[in-house]
Chains A and B, each alone.
Chain A
Amino acid sequence: MAKKKLKVRASGKKGYAVVKAILFHPMETGLRKSKETGEVIPAHYIQEVTVKHEDAEVIKVNMGIAVSKNPYLSVEIDGAAKGDKITIAWLDNLGESASTEVSVS
């Protein structure tokens, strides 16, 4: 199996759920230069993250290059109860993507 690309935890509170995610990604800005060769390291960063609750899109996050490496994201969803399905997916500028599904605990 490939390296894990995202880690998500959804914890249920009263009437809502807190979704915390770490997306494993280099988030290269395309502005940095390699120390050895002096060449610009091409940009490689996540552009879109979607958060779904029971297959309905709740939040769509657009990211730029100023988001830190291995982006951390925390959002809250109203009305998400224990056992509900939360899906998080990301897509980067090179067309790579990953998604995962968790249930609210």
Chain B
Amino acid sequence: MNNQRRSFLRKSMAGSLVAVSVASGLLTPSHVLAAWPKAAFDSTSVKDAMMGLLGTESFEETNQIKLRTPDIAENGSVVPVTVKTKITGVESISIFALENARPLAISADMSAKARPVLATRIKLGKTSKVVAVVRANGKLFGATKTIKVTLGGCGG
């Protein structure tokens, strides 16, 4: 049997498979690093974003989460948001801006060593409710706040 010919055939087949998957967009870099929840970040509705990221869209409204934001943001492209909670066993903190074209802004997975605090700055297209969702011990808790934007931050 001609072994070289065999391995040559096998290799060329593998090669063409890779080429096909690249062409069909299966192997673009963002897909290889699949840890980033693409579907959730790409979804345009709040429901899909929450379903994609957390698996459900219902959460328990609680006053145990402190969502600190300005009431009125003059510039929607830089809105400081701080989420802080007393809940223990926090697994993740996510921030959704309900009126944005892509509602999911940021989501942080926390290990046991991380304190349940997250501060960042987000963009708001227009006056919007902002929801902070905290996952702790498998349960979801949320806090909502409305931020008034006088100048939008997502394009002109």
Taking CB atoms, residues of chain A closer than 8 Å to B100 are: 66
Q: Smallest Cβ distance from A32 to chain B, in angstroms?
A: 4
Q: Is the CB of A76 within 8 A of B102?
A: no
Interface size on A, residues (CB 8 A): 37
Residue of B nearest to A61 (CB): B108
Cross-chain contact of B120 among A35, A51, A73 (Cβ < 8 A): A73
Q: Is the CB of B113 within 8 A of A68?
A: no
Q: Which of A24-44 contact B (CB under 8 A)?
A: 29, 31-33, 35
Does any Cβ of A come within 8 Å of B25's Cβ?
Answer: no
Does any Cβ of B come within 8 Å of A105's Cβ?
Answer: no
Interface size on B, residues (CB 8 A): 41
Q: Is the CB of A67 within 8 A of B114?
A: no
Residue of A nearest to B119 (CB): A74
Contacts A62-B36, A68-B122, A69-B77 given; does A29 touch B155 at CB 8 Å: yes
Does any Cβ of A come within 8 Å of B51's Cβ?
Answer: no
Taking CB atoms, residues of chain B closer than 8 Å to A66 are: 97, 100, 102-106, 122-124, 154
With A and B bound together, what is the CA distance between A63 and B108 in angstroms?
8
With A and B bound together, what is the CA distance between A93 and B36 in angstroms?
10
Contacts A78-B113, A95-B29 given; does A68 touch B41 at CB 8 Å: no
Q: Is the CB of B120 within 8 A of A48?
A: no
Encode B65-102 as 1/0 by CB contact (under 8 A) with A.
00000000000011110100000000000000100111
Q: List 10 A-B contacts (CB under 8 A).
A: A48-B35, A59-B108, A59-B111, A59-B114, A62-B37, A66-B97, A68-B153, A72-B121, A74-B120, A78-B115
Binding site for B on A (CB under 8 A): 16, 29, 31-33, 35, 47-48, 51, 53, 56-69, 71-79, 91, 93-95
